[in-house]
Every structure is written in structure tokens, then in C-alpha cells.
Amino acid sequence: MMRFILSRVLVAIPTLILVSIFVFLLQKLLPGDPILVMAGESRDPATIEMLRERYHMNDPVLMQYLYWLGDVLRGDLGRSLRTGLPVSDLILQKLPVTLQLAVMSMFFALLIGVPAGVIAAVKRGTLWDYLANGVALSGLSVPNFWLGIMLILLVSVNLGWLPASGYESPLVDPWRSLQTTIMPAIVLGTGIAGTLMRHTRSAMLGVLQADYVRTARAKGLSEQIVVLRHAFRNALLPIVTLSAVMFGELLAGAVLTEQIFTIPGFGKMIVDAVFNRDYAVVQGVVLVTATSFIIINLLADILYVMLNPRMRATL
Amino acid sequence: MKKSLFTAALLASVSLAGAAFAQDLRIGLNEDPDSLDPAQSRTFVSSLVYEQLCSRLFNVDVNMQITPELATDYSWSEDGKTLVLQLREGVTHHDGTPFNAASAVRVFERNMTLPVSNRKAELGSVESVEATGDYELTIHLKSPDVTLLAQLAHHAGRMYSPDAADAAGENFGQNPVCSGPYSFVSRSEGDRIVLEKFADYFDADEFHYDRIVFMPIPDTTVRLANVRAGDLDIVERTAPADVPAVQSDSRLQLFQVPNIGYQGITINVGNGPRSEGPLGANPLVRQALSLAIDRQAFNQVVFEGLYVPGNQWAAPGSAWYDEAFPVPARDVDRARALLAEAGVELPVKIEMQTGNSPVAMQAGQVIQAMASEAGFEISLRATEFATLLSENVAGNFDMSLQGWSGRIDPDANIHPFVHTTGSNNDEHYANPEIDQLLDQARREPNPAVRKDLYDQTTAILQNDLPIIYLYHIQYFFTLRDGIEGFEPYADGIIRLRGVQG
């Protein structure tokens, strides 16, 4: 088991280096000069030159990359070109927000998607099945930005039940925090719930036709025990992997949803940084995102092995 | 025991009542400000925060006339090279240190010497600053510069605690300590900036909110939804498309004021090979293009008729507008005649850079359609802002649809754009006569003489047209119903003195 984990970690390191090079070069290939934007409307030549020197823009690209990588390895992700705030501070400030949103969305998606998938599989071909499929399809097809704006208009503007946007930390005001994140969590969770429902349904259908389920039924076990204990536990394996990947995507930033609900998380930070050509922030965010993605995938693999005894035997 | 419990309960209820009365004002901003160090700021939006946080030497009134704030009086020397300011007494910074001539000198010196300072160019004419009394500041200039007062009514005149600034160095913007009616509490980047009332402010009674919360919300629809839901009290720069919705909502109030900047087409007349086509080389072609555009219809189609059509850097109605050149009506026949006179091959093929926002692209399409009837074939290239700027600087454009947010002193709205040495003269327009007039206007203290000098430049520019001015935006402010005492200012900055409700 340790060897398995170690080998996966070793694979992750070159992946991270490649990601860093890719991100750095991609920024350089983009047209437009961020320094001109940073210099402000008046574009004083002395300011422009000062900014170029300060951000090593006059150095060769390779040197710029090495400067950046050297700082990163020392734990310094640089400073935001726009606000001058340290990128690591910004990330530490935003990460818990997105984490909270991701956990809530995932909770909502699992709460809706998995039971709906199980019911649809068990009651295959009935009204329940069609209903669950219909709901899942709508969840998948409705764009987040549209659903978000509709919810704001209905729930906040017309009914006045929840704040239209903004965010409060649960450490400051837990109730307000729940109020500000519940709508974005639902918006984010709907699409995932749809995907989870479809996958749960097909996994359950596959398992329900397996020999051991027939054997369990033949032994005279109740349908509830057959479905939940025998079928569902085995159908859970691909769902765990899928959920982990989706959680990783949520952490990478729910770009549109955070933008619409003005949630100061990762996604909003990425959009703002790209829009302002804030290189330091974009690079820092992508690096942290890639790292967390790789770690989550690693954890999912380990969890998969732990849940599946047959996999353990092959290691 | 019972008595102490009762006292505790009483105290708790009193403090709760206090909390209930604490009044927050939530202001929705178009974008997140940059650094909150007055020496480093570059963005317009930071001015909205500074107005509550950092007092300035001078301010402007609702008519954009310079008025005293921390400087109570001023006088120029005969030769125009010395400016003496009398400073307000009894003002303290948020850290308790006094504001006086000595502290102001240190602020000037920091603004002029800090490596990352963006105030150097604005204070470029300043030779030295000295405290000639406890509350008297004398500024010596390298050469006469009447625009300095306007700079001191902007970022360069914002006063802050030099002790706190020296201690924080370049990180001062993370915890700014100034002398305004509200002091800094916290900032969560992209989320909110919180200020709280400064009890020792010299005019504290005129400010009626306990806390000001700035929330940057870039999406106009979301910003509007927030004020409609009661989650914001004031929204700055409401989009014209949202104006009808605000007007029809009884829970909201709408205020509007024409901005002091301009929007127009900058034409490459001398920046590299792309200036050598018929448009860049021949003023007649530029005049034809200007006449081909129906500014009224353009305003109607793109901005629901809510902006102000224009043909000069100053808006019609402004004190600096030259009435001798009114906004021209569309004249396609005259445009065609001018093209014939210029002897150019038709259609005149040109490319126009625009921003990539839906409004900018729509504006480009309307101009494209109008100009085609006069004999122009305009292709559009929509780019994001960073690309547009660098293409402009590199001379990789025929013409560029862009604008300027405006400054209170006219010099800043014209000099950088058409003076040969202007920092924003991307079109590389060079005319010694214009240079001489603008330099003279910069030194001229008499407003009437200055106006005449600017009128002379307008006459030349109307012929040369390195920039075809099209319109002036209006600033729309949306306020929650019940807020009283608000007045919109043409510089777009929200003043909270006397605002309540």
C-alpha cells in the first residue's frame, strides 16, 4: 500500500512542474501588455518603466520563469500586481470560502443525486425512473448563470428570503454564512446531482443484475437489504471516484457561480485576475489548483483501493 | 446576586440596542479598487473609497470648482512658481498623530520619492515642499503650473499619517491610516472593504453612518438585483440598460450627472506605417468620417439616448466647451464630397479596434454601418483592454474606439492626448502650434485667458481630427429609497457629507 502511494506521489511531481511551465508560457503567449493596464489611465512613462523593472518584465522569459519558480519553492507566490497583496494570503483567504461552497454543493448533490439514482434503478421503467431522469437532465442542461440569476430574482428580489449576493464567514456569523451560500451551493450542486444520478442509476442497474444479487434474493433476503447492503455498496465504487473528481472541479473554482453571487472564492479570484492580467495571482491560483487536483485524485485512488478488497490483493 | 444579574442584563440590552442602531451604508462598486495607498493608487474606483477614508488638501464642489478641504486658503506668488497653502488646524490622523505642515511635507516627500509611487508625474512640477509655519505649507515649483491645484484635489493631495506610512513602507495600502471621516477596518480582496466612523474627524457630525461597506460587484445585473433586494444602499455607475428598471421601481431612486471625460475614436495619424493610409494621412478623410456619424442616432441605439452626444473633449454645457463648434449633424453628402476632394479610392478600407464588451462592440457596429453609407468600409477588431492598449502604443491600429474618464482640470483631458510629448498620445499627433497653446494654457492662471487658449486648440483640432469625439457618458447612481441628502458629482465620486436615511 505504501509503495502504491509513494509511486503515485512520484508521478505527481513532474506533472506539477509541467503544469507550472505550461501556465507560465501560456501567459506569455497571450497578446497585450499587462504593465500598460497596471500603469493606469495616465500611463506615466516613469511608472511604466518602474513596473517593468519591478516585475522582471525586461528579463528573458526563462529568467522570469526561474525567478518565479525560485520564489514559489521558497513559499512565496509573489504579490498581486493590482493590489500589492501577497498571493499566498489571497489564496488562504479564498480557499476556505470555495471549500465551504464545494462541501455544501457536494452535500446537496449527493443528497439528491445518489438516492434518486438508486430509486430510478430499482424502479426501472416506472414513473419514478422517468421523473428522476427528467430532473437529472434538466439539472445537467440548465446553465449555472441562468439558474443563478433566476434564483436571485425569485428568492432575493421578489420574495426577499435570502441575500442576493455576498458572503459571510461561518466563523463570524454562521446563520448569515448559510444564508449567503445556500443558493450558490444549490446552483452548483444541481449539475453534479444530475451527473451523479445518471451514474448511480447505471451502476445500480449493472449490480442489480449480478449473480450475487440474485443469490441474495434467492436466500430470501428482504429487498431493502439486497438493494442497500449488497447492491448499493458495490455500486458505490465508481460513484466515489466520480464524486472526488467533481469535488476537485468544484475546488478549482466555480467561476460563473461565484461571479454571479459575488462569492469571494477561488473562481471569482481567477476571473478577476485574468481580467486584470494579474499574472502573479493567476500563476499562484493555477499552481494551487493543480496541486489540490492531484492530491484529491491521489486520495480518491487510495479510497478506491481501500473500498475494494480485490484491488488491494493486486497491489 | 440578583441585582448584579439585572445590571448585566440591562447592560447587555443597552449594548444590543446600540448594535441595532449602528447604521451601515453598503455601496456597490463597479470593480475592486487597486492598492489603498494614496501614493500607489492608479484606478478611478479607489477614489470612491478614499473620499471617505483620506481627506485631501482640496476638493471640488458640485460645479467642479476647486474648494478647500484640508487646505483652507492658498496664494500664488507673482511669478507663479510658489504656492502657499494655509492648513486646517485641529485635524488628527486615524492613529492619533496630528495633521500639520510638517506631516504634509513628509507625505509630499513620500509621494515624490517612494519607488512604487504613482504620484511622481502629477507632482512633476514640484521642486520642493517646506513647512513655513505650523500650519503653512510652501510649495516651490520648477516652472509655473496652474494644474497643480487640481492634482492636490486628487490622489496627490490625499493626506495620510506619515508615521504609519513609513512604518508600513510599500505595504501601507494593506492598512491605510488617513484623516478622513471614516477609518480603515478591513479588506477582503474582491469581496468588501469596511470602514468605520472616525469620531475625531473635524466635521464628524455631518457623517451619519457608523460603518461604510464597499462591495465590488462587476456584473451590472447582479448589482441591480442587490440594490433591489435591499442588500446594497447605493450603486455607482448603473448601466444605461438598467436605467429603465431602476426608474420603474418605487423602492429605488436614480441620480444622473454628465461625466467630465469623453469617448471617441483615436486615429493613428503618425504612429508607424499604419498611419500612412488615407485616413491617417489626410484630414479631409477624417472629417468625412466624422460627418458620416449621426451622433444622436448613435446615442439612441447604443445607449438608449441616455448619454450626451459630443464633438470636443469637453461636453456641451461644460464651461470649457467651445460653442463656436456645435455638435455637427450627420451630412453624408458632404462626407462623400470631402472624400472626392481628398481623391481617395472608394471604399476607404479601415480597421477599428474596439473593446470586447457587448456595448463597445455594438458601438463599433453602429459606426461601421453609418460610415459605410459615406464610402467607408470599416472592419472591426474587438480585443480585451490590455491588448487594445498595447496595440495602440505599438501603432498597430488604424483607429481605436476608446475613452477617458476625465479630470477636473482641463489640461489633463487634452494635454496627454494631443501634445507631442503627451503620455497618452498613441496616435502620435504632432503639431507645434497645439503644443505651444497647451503649454501656455498650463502656465496661465487666468481662467478666461485659458479658455481662449483651449478654444484656439479646439479650432485646430476640429480640422485635424486626430481624435473624433463622439459622446460623453453620464454617471447613473441608484439609491435605495429613503436615503436623503445625496448629490451626484460629475467626477463620479460619492460624497457622504449630510447623506442619511
Kindly compute the dihedral angle of the four CA atoms of residues B304, B307, B153, B127, in this order, to the nearest 10 degrees: 120
The better pLDDT of the pair A306, B133 is held by: B133
Residue A186 binned pLDDT confidence (cut-offs 50, 70, 90) = very high
What's the complex ipTM?
0.75
Which chain B residue is nearest to residue A38, measuring alpha carbons? B42
Order the strands of the B262-267 sheet from edge to edge.
B308-309, B467-472, B262-267, B399-404, B348-355, B376-383
Residue A303 binned pLDDT confidence (cut-offs 50, 70, 90) = confident
**Number of domains into which chain A is organized:** 2
**Mean of all residue pLDDT scores within chain A:** 84
Closest CA to A90 of B168, B218, B189: B189
Interface residue A165 vs chain B (CB under 8 A): yes
Tell me which residue in B42, B222, B228 faces A39 most closely, judged by beta carbons. Answer: B42
* Domain identity same for A65 and A101: no
B198-245: per-residue pLDDT in tens?
Answer: 999 988 999 999 999 999 988 888 889 899 988 899 999 998 889 999
Interface residue B185 vs chain A (CB under 8 A): no
Over residues B134-157, the mean pLDDT reads 94
For the ranges A102-116, A124-138, B348-362, the lowest mean pLDDT is seen at A124-138
In this predicted structure, what is the pLDDT of residue B22?
A: 61
In this predicted structure, what is the pLDDT of residue A314?
A: 60
Domains and CATH numbers, chain B: 26-174 (3.90.76.10), 262-472 (3.10.105.10)
Of chain B, the percentage scoring pLDDT greater than 70 comes to 96
Interface residue A53 vs chain B (CB under 8 A): no
Over residues B294-308, the mean pLDDT reads 94
**Mean of all residue pLDDT scores within chain B:** 92
The better pLDDT of the pair B344, A312 is held by: B344
In this predicted structure, what is the pLDDT of residue A276?
A: 76
Which range among A113-117, A137-141, A227-231 has the greatest average pLDDT?
A113-117
User: Is pLDDT above 50 for B2?
Assistant: no
A152-179: per-residue pLDDT in tens?
Answer: 989 988 888 998 888 888 988 999 999 9
Measure the CA–CA gap between A179 and A186, rounded to whole angstroms.
12
* Domain identity same for A116 and A249: yes
Q: Which of residues 77-106 of B touch A (CB under 8 A)?
A: none
Measure the CA–CA gap between A79 and A86, rounded to whole angstroms.
4
User: Is pLDDT above 70 for B352?
Assistant: yes
How far is the CA of A144 from the CAs of A156, A264, B178, B403, in angstroms?
Answer: 17, 17, 42, 33
* Domain identity same for A157 and A47: no
* Domain identity same for A209 and A267: yes
Interface residue B416 vs chain A (CB under 8 A): yes
* Domain identity same for A48 and A104: no
Helix or strand or coil: residue B215? Answer: strand
* Domain identity same for A103 and A40: no
Substitution target in A47, A97, A187 with the highest count of B β-carbons within 10 Å is A47
The shortest C-alpha distance from A159 to chain B (Å) reads 9
Order the strands of the B126-133 sheet from edge to edge.
B71-76, B82-87, B136-141, B126-133
Measure the CA–CA gap between B84 and B99, rounded to whole angstroms.
17
* Domain identity same for A35 and A157: no
Substitution target in A28, A29, A35, A36 with the highest count of B β-carbons within 10 Å is A36
Which chain B residues contact residue A266 at CB under 8 A? Answer: none
Substitution target in B47, B116, B222 with the highest count of A β-carbons within 10 Å is B222
Tell me which residue in A80, A84, A167 faces B170 most closely, judged by beta carbons. Answer: A84
Interface residue A88 vs chain B (CB under 8 A): no
* Domain identity same for A2 and A42: yes
The shortest C-alpha distance from B33 to chain A (Å) reads 8
B24-72: per-residue pLDDT in tens?
Answer: 999 999 888 988 999 998 888 999 999 999 999 999 999 888 999 999 9
Asked if A41 lies within 8 A of B44 by C-beta distance, the reply is yes
User: Is pLDDT above 70 for B13?
Assistant: no
In this predicted structure, what is the pLDDT of residue A313?
A: 59
Query: Against a cut of 0.80, is the pTM above it?
Result: yes
Alpha-helical (H) ranges within chain A are 2-29, 34-38, 45-54, 61-73, 87-122, 127-141, 144-151, 174-208, 211-218, 223-225, 233-251, 255-260, 266-275, 279-307, 309-314
Asked if A84 lies within 8 A of B173 by C-beta distance, the reply is yes
Interface residue A290 vs chain B (CB under 8 A): no
The CATH number of residue A100's host domain is 1.10.3720.10
Q: Which of residues 240-279 of A touch B (CB under 8 A)?
A: 259-262, 264, 268-269, 272, 275, 277
- Residue A252 belongs to a domain: yes
In this predicted structure, what is the pLDDT of residue A312?
A: 63
Q: Which domain holds residue A223?
A: 95-168+186-276
Measure the CA–CA gap between A51 and A38, rounded to whole angstroms.
8
